[in-house]
Amino acid sequence: MSTYTRPVMLLLCGLLLLTLAIAVLNTLVPLWLAQANLPTWQVGMVSSSYFTGNLVGTLFTGYLIKRIGFNR
């Protein structure tokens, strides 16, 4: 076994847990909002706001790393 096997496996396990959490979040929140009798457009806005925040965070992080630096 390689020296890097354990850290890579831990990183992949963390990514798996994050992916499962996002999948559950993106499935249950719209169902919960629809059951609360919110209009369809509001359910859609809440559901898409996660991805909008992800995009804005990705774009902003590049600027932040350039300004502050990678290792601080």
User: Looking only at Cα atoms, what is the longest distance across the chain?
Assistant: 54
d(CA 30, CA 53): 17
How many residues would you count in the chain?
72
Task: Considering only residues 31 and 72, tell me which one the structure prediction assigns the higher pLDDT.
Answer: 31
Model pTM score: 0.65
**pLDDT band for position 1 (50/70/90)?**
low
Tell me the mean pLDDT in the region 21-45.
Answer: 94
Q: Kindly state the percentage of the chain with pLDDT values over 90.
A: 69
Q: Is the pLDDT of residue 22 over 70?
A: yes
Tell me the mean pLDDT in the region 10-23.
Answer: 95
- The number of distinct structural domains making up the chain is 1
Domain of residue 51, residue span? 5-68
Q: What is the pLDDT of residue 72?
A: 60
